[in-house]
A and B are shown apart, each in its own frame.
Chain A
Amino acid sequence: GENVEQHPSTLSVQEGDSAVIKCTYSDSASNYFPWYKQELGKRPQLIIDIRSNVGEKKDQRIAVTLNKTAKHFSLHITETQPEDSAVYFCAATTITFGTGTKLQVIP
């Protein structure tokens, strides 16, 4: 089955800086890669997703890149704000989640 690795597990950045979270997957047949943001004690919320026929997708300050050959994809958050602080999960296919990255944006 699919296996997803996510790095780093924790990430601290200064407000205004960029944050990058990386994930690798094992199943070359996977074709859907969502990213979720989960605030403490709350539900995960989809923030962006990408399909295998696209190499990059951007939505305001958030972007995702996908390298199918290398089987990795990344989340990029620019101009970080304190409200971006949360745990971020990547996923390959619908149901296989990475281990999560706790992002802390320091004001």
Chain B
Amino acid sequence: GAVVSQHPSWVICKSGTSVKIECRSLDFQATTMFWYRQFPKQSLMLMATSNEGSKATYEQGVEKDKFLINHASLTLSTLTVTSAHPEDSSFYICSASGIRKETQYFGPGTRLLVL
């Protein structure tokens, strides 16, 4: 149990376009979802926390107008990178937690390359 999927697994886009990444909890209701960014050989950096039906809480330094997060249902959260630029290229990972709020289940990640 506790499976989280993420789509797409990788995406290449042109600079200035927007990219949407989906995160789904497949077999449990995710009251909270987290979005992370991970650079090569570095740790997970939390970008934002979202609770179903509420606005996301962004970490300091993360532009909420650039990284749009929607958590419309208990099984789906989306991250939209708007007007992507090469510096947005990274590995984006979502995670979800359910009743046992402390335990996170991670998605497989999305590798974004902006040309």
Contact = CB atoms under 8 A, between A and B. Distances in A.
Contacts of B93: 43-44
| Residue in B97, B101, B102, B108 whose Cβ sees the most chain A Cβ within 10 Å | B102
A43 B103 contact: no
B34 A100 contact: no
A98 B104 CA distance: 15
A99 B39 CA distance: 11
Interface size class of B (residues with CB under 8 A): 10 to 19
Nearest to B106: A43
Contacts of A89: 43-44
A46 B11 CA distance: 26
A46 B104 contact: yes
Contact of B107 (A43, A49, A93, A98): A43
A97 B106 CA distance: 14
Nearest to A87: B41
B108 A95 contact: no
B77 interface: no
B49 interface: yes
Interface in B19-57: 34, 41-44, 46, 49
B109 A34 contact: no
Contact of A94 (B43, B102, B106, B107): B102
A45 B101 contact: no
B38 to A, nearest CB: 9
Contact of B34 (A36, A95, A102): A95
B100 to A, nearest CB: 10
B43 A98 contact: yes
Contacts of A41: 109
Q: Top 5 nearest A-B pairs by Cβ distance?
A: A43-B106, A32-B102, A97-B44, A99-B43, A97-B43
Interface of A: 32, 34, 36, 41-46, 49, 89, 93-100, 102
